[in-house]
């Protein structure tokens, strides 16, 4: 049986050997055990070819591709997030956060191994599918799916490490000591694979419902647009992005808050997402949600990958995407259960990635049913905006950008700079609110916003024997005479005003140990996320800003900063010692260098 070189690739199991793959949908993740079959006695019919391809997809759910290691080298290392959890739990991740990691870091090695395990699975399929007796069209489709996935893995590798070993077929033992190819060679292979995939894969609408989540022509073309953006080939990036836009296959989901719910899985804006499901048998999900979930009550996650305070400050006044991205203590869970996040006293600055949250599900906690969104249509629109700008087409660049901003308003055009939150049932039980009709409070007041200038303040609290203590809680009673009862009534009341008008907002303020006070704040109404009209560098800056807040906590920020050349300034402003000529790439894992008989060479300055 052909084996993978264990030294460099973490003793990866064979693609069709020893695993049972479990389904989120009947097509993509098959539940049939593959027993002890090998590459010599497998690939005899269509069913086995599909099972082998499903094994390539299943790698996307695993620990070292889209879970612990991945979150460390994408979010935690960036300005979007910090390690999270308790200070001593997985302390090695703080090395990524603080840019003090080295060539022996386990997450750097883990993500390297995970991607090469994925490369190996796809290589086995690409080698064996041509000789499998099956429908030629299906064979080409499965080859396209595997070549798309191989390109995906190699795109991770080339962005992370630059030039890496280029392996396009299973290796024999005498081939194990591989040297690095150049980054240019890796990108050439990625483009060849994606072009093949784009030619042979169906459109998203061409798949039956059971096969939603498989790679599509639109996914391949979107990846080509992204790859060419990284290569600074902006005409090609714009061309592929426009092809996807004009295909009619995708559109923005109206409500941003629904994207990361079960309702939003495989939605109209989903270009590619990793399929997951929870079953009683305890397979088919991933730990993507578990490691980022609420640590303690109510869902016993691990609390890693904490959205940063720096990310807080990136949102414009009234940008509701902030609420759809971050989950705070004393906030009601977004599943209609009326359960509340109870503050965990062992954590510092507790908050969670709301985009990784799942409602109740069967099976074990490590079997989260959260589909991992890898490519959304809004991302593609922002790629189109940046490419169009670079190509001198500022008008279309603004249009693509403003399409994303329009959806972000979620039908609300005005704001006073407050993120309103409903008082959760748990808070209501602790705080004496019986005399008030309103249940909406200022969860956050954006710095410099009209509300902040008028004296309305962000919720401030502490714990007293595990119970919330309101150091300051501003409840909104009315807006220009309109009575407020909940979050939606507040948003409606603000939207009923006129931009530029100054209106009275009655606030009921609670302070711990003090009598409640009521005051009127005269607040100026302003537009929520107005269309961008800028030109030149200001327009490019606006596109980059939109990428951050639209795609926050979706593991895009670090590689965006590297690509844009802004990582040194951004990270150094946070007090992190980003070394130019070093931190643009990860170190080649020292273990891999040693086991390659020094065929692998290290990246500069590591």
Q: What is the DSSP string of 205-256?
A: GGS-GGGTTS--HHHHHHHHHHHHHHTT-HHHHHHHHHHHHHTTS----S-G
Which of 337, 370, 403 represents a domain boundary (last residue)? 370
pLDDT at 14 over 50: no
Which of 478, 510, 527 represents a domain boundary (last residue)? 527
Structure tokens given for 33: 């055990």
Structure tokens given for 53: 């391809």
Compute φ and ψ for 394, nearest 5 degrees: -70, -30
Share of the chain above pLDDT 90, in %: 76
More confident site: 565 or 461 = 565
| Together in a domain, 361 and 465 | no
| Dihedral sign for Cα atoms in the order 190, 194, 195, 197 | positive
The closest of 17, 112, 120 to 72, measured between CA atoms, is 112
Instruction: Provide mean pLDDT across the span 21-32.
Output: 35
* 421 in a structural domain: yes
Partners of 270 in the beta sheet?
Answer: 376
pLDDT at 39: 62
* 278 in a structural domain: no
* 68 in a structural domain: yes
Structure tokens given for 156: 């991770």
Sole residue written with tokens 């109209």: 268
Structure tokens given for 317: 């006044």
How does the average pLDDT of the chain come out, rounded?
90
| Together in a domain, 431 and 345 | no
| Together in a domain, 34 and 161 | yes
| Dihedral sign for Cα atoms in the order 344, 348, 353, 356 | negative
Minimum mean pLDDT among 26-40, 344-358, 577-591: which range? 26-40
pLDDT at 277 over 90: no
The predicted-structure confidence for 106-151, as pLDDT tens digits, reads as follows: 999 999 999 999 999 999 999 999 999 999 999 999 999 999 999 9
Say if residues 192 and 150 touch (Cβ distance below 8 Å): no
Say if residues 352 and 306 touch (Cβ distance below 8 Å): yes
- Provide the CATH number for the domain around residue 426: 2.30.42.10
E strand spans, 480-556: 482-483, 502-510, 517-524, 526-527
| Together in a domain, 131 and 76 | yes
pTM of this prediction? 0.92
Structure tokens given for 80: 């979007």
* 324 in a structural domain: yes
| Together in a domain, 482 and 606 | no
Give CA–CA dist 419/45, Å, rounded: 56
| Together in a domain, 446 and 356 | no
Structure tokens given for 27: 């097509």
3-state secondary structure of 281: coil
pLDDT at 332 over 90: no
| Together in a domain, 150 and 3 | yes
The closest of 99, 128, 27 to 567, measured between CA atoms, is 99
Instruction: Provide mean pLDDT across the span 582-586.
Output: 98
pLDDT at 354: 94
Q: How many residues does the chain have?
A: 606
- DSSP per residue, 550-604: HSTTSS-HHHHHHHHT-HHHHHHHTT--PPTTTTTSPPPPHHHHHHTTT-S-PPT
- DSSP per residue, 29-90: S---B-TT--TTT---SHHHHHHHHHHHHHGGGSHHHHSHHHHIIIIITSSSEEEES-TTTT
pLDDT at 494 over 90: yes
pLDDT at 424: 85
Determine how β-strand 414-415 pairs with β-strand 526-527: antiparallel
Say if residues 204 and 249 touch (Cβ distance below 8 Å): yes
pLDDT at 331: 86
Full residue range of the structural domain in which residue 39 is found: 1-184+191-201+586-606
Residue 426 region by backbone torsions, left for phi larger than 0, else alpha for psi between -120 and 50, else beta: alpha
Say if residues 121 and 9 touch (Cβ distance below 8 Å): no
pLDDT at 23: 31
pLDDT band for position 480 (cuts 50, 70, 90): very high
* 5 in a structural domain: yes
The closest of 596, 516, 605, 574 to 78, measured between CA atoms, is 574
Instruction: Provide mean pLDDT across the span 252-263.
Output: 94
Structure tokens given for 169: 């077929």
| Together in a domain, 441 and 493 | yes
Q: Name the domain count of the chain.
A: 3
Give CA–CA dist 505/60, Å, rounded: 49
The predicted-structure confidence for 140-191, as pLDDT tens digits, reads as follows: 999 999 999 999 999 999 999 999 999 999 988 888 889 999 999 999 999 9
* 355 in a structural domain: yes
Give CA–CA dist 227/237, Å, rounded: 8
* 322 in a structural domain: yes
For residue 371, what is the DSSP state?
-
| Together in a domain, 5 and 147 | yes
- Provide the CATH number for the domain around residue 83: 1.25.40.890
More confident site: 329 or 37 = 329
Q: Radius of gyration of the chain from Cα atoms?
A: 25
* 400 in a structural domain: no
| Together in a domain, 428 and 347 | no
Say if residues 353 and 327 touch (Cβ distance below 8 Å): yes
Sole residue written with tokens 């062992």: 346
| Together in a domain, 451 and 506 | yes
pLDDT band for position 4 (cuts 50, 70, 90): very low
pLDDT band for position 16 (cuts 50, 70, 90): very low
| Together in a domain, 312 and 166 | no
């Amino acid at each position: 049986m052909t084996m993978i070189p264990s030294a460099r690739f973490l003793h990866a199991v064979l693609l069709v050997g020893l695993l049972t793959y479990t389904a989120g949908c009947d097509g993509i993740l098959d539940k049939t055990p593959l027993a002890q079959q090998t590459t010599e006695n497998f690939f005899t019919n269509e069913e086995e070819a599909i099972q082998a391809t499903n094994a390539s997809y299943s790698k996307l759910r695993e620990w070292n591709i889209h879970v612990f290691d991945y979150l460390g080298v994408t979010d935690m290392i960036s300005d979007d997030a910090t390690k999270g959890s308790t200070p001593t739990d997985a302390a090695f991740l703080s090395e990524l956060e603080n840019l003090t990691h080295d060539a022996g870091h386990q997450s750097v090695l883990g993500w390297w191994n995970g991607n090469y395990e994925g490369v190996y699975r796809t290589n086995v399929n690409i080698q064996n599918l041509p000789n499998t007796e099956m429908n030629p069209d299906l064979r080409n489709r499965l080859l396209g799916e595997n070549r798309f996935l191989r390109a995906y893995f190699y795109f991770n590798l080339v962005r992370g490490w630059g030039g890496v070993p280029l392996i396009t077929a299973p290796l024999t033992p005498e081939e194990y000591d591989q040297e690095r190819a150049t980054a240019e060679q890796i990108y050439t292979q990625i483009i060849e694979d994606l072009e093949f995939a784009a030619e042979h894969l169906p459109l998203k609408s061409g798949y039956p419902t059971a096969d939603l989540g498989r790679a599509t022509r639109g996914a391949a073309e979107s990846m080509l647009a992204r790859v060419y953006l990284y290569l600074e080939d902006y005409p090609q990036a714009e061309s592929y992005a426009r092809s996807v836009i004009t295909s009619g296959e995708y559109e923005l989901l109206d409500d941003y808050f629904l994207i990361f719910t079960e309702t939003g899985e495989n939605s109209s804006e989903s270009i590619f997402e990793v399929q997951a499901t929870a079953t009683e048998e305890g397979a088919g999900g991933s730990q993507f949600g578990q490691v980022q979930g609420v640590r303690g009550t109510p869902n016993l996650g691990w609390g890693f990958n904490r959205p940063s305070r720096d990310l807080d400050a990136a949102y414009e006044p009234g940008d509701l995407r902030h609420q759809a991205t971050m989950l705070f203590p004393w906030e009601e869970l977004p599943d209609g259960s009326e359960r509340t996040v109870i503050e965990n006293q062992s954590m510092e600055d507790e908050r969670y990635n709301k985009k990784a949250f799942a409602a109740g599900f069967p099976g074990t906690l490590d079997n989260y049913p959260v589909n991992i969104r890898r490519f959304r249509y809004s991302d593609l629109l922002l790629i189109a905006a940046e490419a169009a700008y670079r190509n001198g087409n500022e008008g279309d660049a603004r249009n693509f950008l403003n399409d994303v901003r329009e959806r972000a308003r979620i039908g609300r055009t005005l704001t006073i700079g407050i993120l309103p939150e409903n008082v959760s049932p748990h808070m209501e039980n602790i705080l004496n609110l019986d005399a008030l009709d309103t249940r909406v409070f200022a969860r956050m007041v954006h710095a410099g916003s009209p509300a902040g200038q008028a004296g309305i303040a962000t919720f401030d609290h502490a714990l007293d024997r595990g119970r919330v203590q309101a150091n300051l809680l501003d409840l909104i009673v009315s807006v220009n005479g309109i009575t407020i009862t909940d979050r939606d009534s507040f948003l409606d009341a603000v939207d009923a005003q006129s931009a530029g008008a100054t209106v009275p907002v009655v606030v009921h303020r609670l302070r711990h140990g003090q009598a409640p006070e009521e005051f009127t704040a005269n607040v100026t109404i302003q537009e929520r996320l107005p269309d961008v009209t800028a030109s030149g560098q200001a327009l490019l800056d606006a596109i980059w800003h939109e990428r951050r807040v639209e795609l926050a906590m979706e593991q895009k920020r670090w590689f965006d900063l590297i690509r844009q050349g802004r990582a040194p300034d951004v990270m150094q402003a946070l007090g992190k010692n980003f070394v130019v000529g070093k931190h643009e790439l990860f170190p080649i894992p020292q273990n891999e260098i040693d086991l390659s008989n020094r065929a692998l060479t290290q990246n500069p300055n590591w």
